[in-house]
């Protein structure tokens, strides 16, 4: 028999073969479809292509009506096929979203028309699929004023000016890499750590930017900041570095931007233009790129429009801005029938925001606001009141105020309105702590918010980060923890994750012992950029977690140790695990701090953060028999285990969202689903929890 070598399979076909190679019994297509998260129809199409491949390796698919399929063949043949699958990596199957992301990048980057065949070959799909994807991309490009052209015999290309193309590129970049990831990349001190992070996000920079350029540009900016004695806020700083890197690499490709002459003349008269010219000269020397004056103009606009600690404050009058703020507050007061004129935080924050926003508006700069739709839907009265105030601003400036900017202004007013409604409640600063930061603290947070309105939860953190947090943050009144901790000068209340009446009374007694003058909650200034980043991270976390859920069954493990070992084995097979031994050690270490269980319903939670796993994992393990879970010297029978694990270095919003699972463990409906539902019902139930959690957490950010 002549065997096929160098098998060319896609990633889904490889997973199908592995699924059947690892099983010695019949498996249904429905079971496989759930495992791979695809339709049965898709599997039938893939199996038709796999049957001749299997036969060339001396194995074949057996089909039994009503029972399923299995792979039949001698063990040696199966082993040879498994080895061959491992030897030749499969080519990637892209989701529609991934395909369209790659196509956007190709279209925006290519100067020459691209044939349908080029897209088809790169993405391993038919040309008709490419055409359908182009139909979906076209409206996205249209938002930037870019026209997609399809010319038979010539190919696909775009029509748009350089400013429009750069705006689309920048937004596409921020769809794949967060401000936090870029900031971490720029500021890491360890060379090896930076190299690893650079590799992890290089592909997500979409070939628009070379990470090495980011580092060199940042060096020039840092020298300039020290010389001119100015500082940008964190996210504005990262945005400026990215703007320069994108612009300079476009210039290198002879793509220059045009700026209107009268705007350039106005910019020349600002102190920022002098700074921009000096930056351009230093960047030209370092990167061997000639920067035209039009680009210096856009660098100046970026400096003028940055939400930052304002440069050259003594050279800019704020009298107009102060008048705008006063009148806009009066309009919002009239619309909402609230008194806001005495809110000093609102006046201060709105003045700082408008000082740069006015320049952005006057210069017609592009403004990104991922929160716009959320603000309009969740706070329609505040948004419409702000729109009315913005009409006054339009009259004063003589130019329209974009909806994106109205959204930011509405966030300032919204914070003041919510602050007004909560006025009179004396709240204490509280820090929540649990062993890993994944589950128990989020569970506590939700219950405490309901039962103790007199506290303000400053943060929810892992025990491992407690010392550092206390060292780098303002003092708190009380630490509420799920395990025993000792902290000098701060009261600690140790409670159960499933908060009892006794726990509530304990917290109240601790709060009563705090003198009224100590650390009362001060009104906080709103961080607009931080809010945007958090909501963006919650969106990315939701997309990740919706694909991270699985359900499996373990017939009858003899004890807890054996069960945990089997869980690690399952997770290693179905998730990206870099070091299974490290993951096992971290999970066992977390359990030593104390288990999390719902005893009466025989449900336990296994959770940890670990360098051993590379992606989020949410896995429900159904047991064929009870397994004893030790706690406080007693043995508690457990029948269902919810496992939640993830990497150490993902944005905290991922863990805030995944912790919604822990809160759900106090709901009878969710417990019943875990114990009685089908695997598909459980997965859908958990995904629904994540979706609801996203809406809640994103909404709470503005409160």
| Comparison of pLDDT for 14 and 177, the residue scoring more | 14
Count of domains for the chain: 6
User: Which residues form the domain of 133?
Assistant: 96-160
- In this structure, the answer to whether residues 100 and 229 fall within a common structural domain is no
**Could you tell me if 70 and 218 lie in one domain?**
no
On whether the CB atoms of residues 436 and 607 are closer than 8 A, the answer is yes
Give pLDDT, residue 305. Answer: 64
Residues 563 and 674 in one domain: yes
Report residue 163 as tokens.
């400013």
- Regarding predicted confidence, which is higher, 130 or 594? 130
Same domain for 572 and 682, yes or no, is yes
pLDDT confidence tier of residue 393, bands split at 50, 70 and 90: very high
Q: 626 φ, ψ to 5°?
A: -65, 145
Rounded distance between C-alpha atoms, residue 14 and residue 311, angstroms? 57
Q: Is 681 found in the same domain as 554?
A: yes
Q: What is the CATH number of the domain that holds 460?
A: 3.40.50
Helix (H) or strand (E) run with residue 640 in it: strand 634-646
Residue 400 maps to a domain: yes
Task: Note the pLDDT of residue 64.
Answer: 79
pLDDT at 580: 87
φ, ψ of residue 634 to 5 degrees: the values are: -110, 160
For 226-247, the pLDDT digits (tens) are 777 666 655 567 777 778 888 8
Lowest-pLDDT range, 4-8, 279-283, 442-446, 508-512?
A: 4-8
Q: What are phi and psi of 372, to 5 degrees?
A: -55, -55
Domain boundary among 373, 403, 422: 422
DSSP for 259-328, written as a single string: --HHHHHHHHTSHHHHHHHHHHHHHHHHHT----HHHHHHHHHHHHH--SS-SSGGGS--HHHHHHHHHH
Q: Averaged over 3-19, what is the pLDDT?
A: 72
> What is the pLDDT, as a whole number, of residue 189?
41
pLDDT digits (tens, 9 = 90+) for 423-435: 555 678 888 887 5
> pLDDT band at residue 143, thresholds of 50, 70 and 90?
confident
pLDDT of residue 286: 86
Q: Is residue 165 part of a domain?
A: no
Does residue 142 or residue 176 have the better pLDDT? 142
Q: What is the pLDDT of residues 18-40, one digit of tens each?
A: 888 888 888 887 778 777 766 67
Query: Do 534 and 679 share a structural domain?
Result: yes
Supply the pLDDT for residue 386: 93
Check whether residue 193 and residue 309 sit in a common domain. Answer: yes
Q: In the listed set 265, 296, 313, which residue is the last one of a domain according to the structure?
A: 313
The answer to whether position 6 is within a domain reads no
**Please, which pLDDT band fits residue 620 given cuts at 50, 70 and 90?**
very high
Looking at the structure, tell me whether residues 535 and 675 fall in a common domain.
Answer: yes
DSSP letter string over 476-532? -SEEEESS----TTSEEEE--SS--HHHHHHHHHHHHTS-TTSSBPPPPPP-HHHHH
Q: What pLDDT, on a 0 to 100 scale, did the predictor assign at position 520?
A: 44
In angstroms, the Cα distances linking 520 to 219, 384, 403, 515 are 41, 34, 37, 10
Calculate the CA dihedral of residues 456, 457, 459, 461 and round it to 10 degrees.
Answer: 150
Residue 388, Cβ neighbours under 10 Å: how many? 15
Same domain (yes/no): 537, 631 = yes
Residue 634: inside a domain, yes or no? yes
User: What are the pLDDT digits (tens) for 75-92?
Assistant: 888 888 888 877 766 666
Q: How far apart are CA 533 and CA 414, in angstroms?
A: 18
Mean pLDDT for the stretch of residues 617-627: 90
**Residue 54: inside a domain, yes or no?**
yes
Report the alpha-carbon distance of residue 73 to residue 81 in Å, rounded: 11
Bridge-based pairing of strands 617-631 and 455-462 is unpaired
Instruction: Please give the Cα distance from 452 to 495 (Å, whole number).
Output: 14
CATH label of the domain that carries residue 43: 1.10.10.10
* 593 domain-assigned: yes
Statement: residue 196 has pLDDT above 50: no
Instruction: Please check whether residue 397 lies inside any domain of the structure.
Output: yes
Q: What is the CATH number of the domain that holds 214?
A: 1.10.1790.10
pLDDT at 392: 93
**Taking CA 114 as the corner, what is the angle to CA 110 and CA 115, rounded to the nearest 5 degrees?**
170
205-214, 411-420, 444-453, 504-513: segment of lowest average pLDDT: 205-214
On average, the pLDDT of the chain sits at 79
In a domain, 518, yes or no: no
User: Do 125 and 69 sit in the same domain of this protein?
Assistant: no
For residues 301 and 196, state if they share a domain.
Answer: yes
Q: Are both 579 and 691 inside the same structural domain?
A: yes
């Amino acid at each position: 028999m002549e065997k096929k070598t160098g098998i060319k399979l896609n990633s889904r076909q490889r997973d199908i073969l592995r699924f059947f190679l690892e099983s010695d019994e019949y498996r249904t297509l429905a079971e496989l479809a759930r495992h791979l998260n695809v339709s049965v129809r898709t599997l039938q199409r893939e199996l038709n292509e796999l049957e001749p491949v299997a036969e060339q390796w001396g194995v074949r698919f057996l089909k039994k009506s009503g029972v399923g399929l299995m792979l039949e063949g001698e063990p040696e043949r199966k082993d040879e096929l498994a080895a061959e699958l491992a030897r030749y990596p499969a080519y990637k199957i892209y989701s529609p979203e991934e395909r369209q992301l790659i196509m956007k990048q190709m279209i925006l980057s290519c100067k020459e028309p691209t044939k349908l065949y080029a897209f088809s070959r790169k993405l391993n799909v038919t040309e008709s699929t490419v055409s359908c994807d182009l139909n979906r991309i076209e409206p996205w490009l249209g938002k930037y004023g870019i026209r997609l052209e399809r010319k038979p015999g010539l190919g696909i290309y775009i029509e748009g000016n350089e400013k429009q193309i750069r705006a689309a590129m920048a937004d596409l970049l921020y769809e794949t890499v967060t401000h936090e990831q870029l900031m971490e990349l720029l500021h890491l001190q360890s060379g090896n750590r930076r190299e690893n992070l650079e590799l992890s996000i290089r592909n997500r920079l979409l070939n628009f930017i070379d990470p090495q350029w980011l580092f060199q540009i940042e060096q020039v900016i840092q020298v300039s900041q020290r010389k001119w004695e100015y500082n940008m806020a964190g996210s504005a700083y990262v945005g400026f570095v990215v703007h320069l890197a994108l612009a300079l690499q476009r210039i290198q490709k002879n793509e220059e931007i045009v700026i209107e002459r009268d705007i350039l003349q106005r910019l020349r008269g600002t102190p920022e233009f002098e700074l921009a010219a000096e930056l351009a000269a230093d960047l030209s020397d370092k990167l061997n790129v000639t920067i035209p004056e039009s680009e210096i103009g856009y660098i100046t606009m970026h400096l003028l429009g940055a939400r930052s600690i304002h440069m050259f404050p003594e050279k800019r009058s704020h009298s107009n801005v102060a008048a705008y703020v006063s009148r806009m507050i009066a309009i919002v007061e009239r619309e909402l029938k609230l008194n806001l004129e005495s809110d000093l935080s609102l006046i201060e924050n709105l003045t700082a925001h408008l000082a740069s926003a006015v320049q952005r508006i006057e210069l017609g700069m592009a403004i990104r606001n991922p929160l716009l739709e959320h603000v309009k839907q969740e706070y329609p009265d505040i948004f419409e009141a702000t729109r009315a105030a913005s009409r006054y601003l339009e009259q004063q400036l003589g130019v329209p105020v974009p909806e994106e900017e109205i959204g930011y202004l509405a966030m300032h007013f919204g914070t003041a309105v919510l602050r007004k409604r909560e006025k009179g409640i004396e709240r204490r600063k509280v820090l929540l702590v649990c062993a890993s930061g994944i589950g128990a603290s989020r569970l506590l947070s939700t219950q405490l918010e309901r039962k103790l309105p007199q506290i303000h939860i400053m943060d929810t953190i892992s025990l491992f980060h407690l010392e550092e947090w206390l060292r780098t943050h303002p003092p708190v009144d009380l630490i509420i923890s799920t395990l025993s901790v000792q902290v000098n000068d701060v009261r600690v209340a140790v409670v159960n994750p499933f908060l009892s009446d006794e726990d509530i009374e304990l917290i109240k007694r601790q709060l009563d012992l705090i003198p009224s003058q100590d650390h009362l909650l001060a009104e906080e200034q709103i961080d607009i950029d931080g809010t945007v980043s958090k909501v963006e991270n919650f969106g990315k976390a939701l997309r990740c977690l919706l694909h991270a859920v699985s359900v499996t069954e373990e017939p009858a493990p003899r004890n807890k140790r054996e069960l945990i070992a089997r869980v690690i084995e399952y997770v290693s097979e179905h998730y990206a695990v870099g070091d299974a031994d490290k993951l096992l050690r971290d999970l066992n270490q977390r359990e030593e701090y104390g288990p999390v269980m719902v005893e009466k319903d025989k449900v336990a939670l296994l959770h940890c953060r670990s360098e051993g796993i590379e992606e989020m994992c949410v896995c429900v393990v159904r047991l064929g028999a009870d397994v004893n879970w030790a706690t406080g010297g007693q043995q508690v029978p457990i029948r269902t285990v919810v496992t939640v694990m993830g990497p150490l270095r993902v944005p905290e919003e991922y863990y805030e969202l995944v912790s919604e699972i822990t809160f759900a463990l106090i709901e009878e409906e969710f417990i019943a689903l875990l114990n009685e539902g089908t695997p598909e019902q459980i997965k859908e139930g958990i995904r629904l929890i994540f979706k609801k959690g996203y809406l809640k957490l994103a909404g709470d950010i503005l409160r």
